Chains A and B, each alone.
Chain A
Amino acid sequence: EPEVTQTPSHQVTQMGQEVILRCVPISNHLYFYWYRQILGQKVEFLVSFYNNEISEKSEIFDDQFSVERPDGSNFTLKIRSTKLEDSAMYFCASSEGLGVYGYTFGSGTRLTVV
Chain B
Amino acid sequence: AQKITQTQPGMFVQEKEAVTLDCTYDTSDQSYGLFWYKQPSSGEMIFLIYQGSYDEQNATEGRYSLNFQKARKSANLVISASQLGDSAMYFCAMRRNQAGTALIFGKGTTLSVSS
Q: Which residues of A contact B (CB under 8 A)?
A: 30-31, 33, 35, 41-45, 48, 50, 55-56, 58, 89, 91, 93, 95, 97-98, 100-101, 103-105, 107-108, 110
Contacts of B93 in A (CB 8 A): 43
Q: How many residues of B contact A (CB 8 A)?
A: 23
A31 near B99 (CB under 8 angstroms)? Answer: yes
Q: How far is the CB of B31 from chain A (nearest CB, A)?
A: 10
Question: Smallest distance from the beta carbon of B10 to chain A beta carbons, Å?
Answer: 12
Q: Does B13 contact A (CB under 8 A)?
A: no
In the complex, which of the residues B33, B44, B99, B100 has the most CB atoms of chain A within 10 Å of its own CB atom? B100
**Closest A residue by C-beta to B47:** A101
A30 close to B100 (CB less than 8 A): yes
Which residue in B35, B44, B108 is a CB contact (below 8 Å) of A103?
B35
Sampled A-B contacts (7; CB under 8 Å): A33-B103, A43-B91, A48-B100, A100-B52, A101-B47, A105-B45, A107-B43
**Besides the known contacts A56-B101, A101-B47, A103-B103, 16 further A-B residue pairs in the complex with CB atoms under 8 A apart:** A30-B100, A33-B103, A35-B103, A45-B103, A45-B104, A45-B105, A48-B101, A56-B102, A58-B102, A91-B45, A93-B45, A97-B100, A100-B50, A105-B37, A108-B43, A108-B45
B53 sits at the interface (CB 8 A): no
Within 8 A of A (CB), among B44-64: 44-45, 47, 50, 52
Residues from chain A with Cβ under 8 Å of B107 in the complex:
41-42
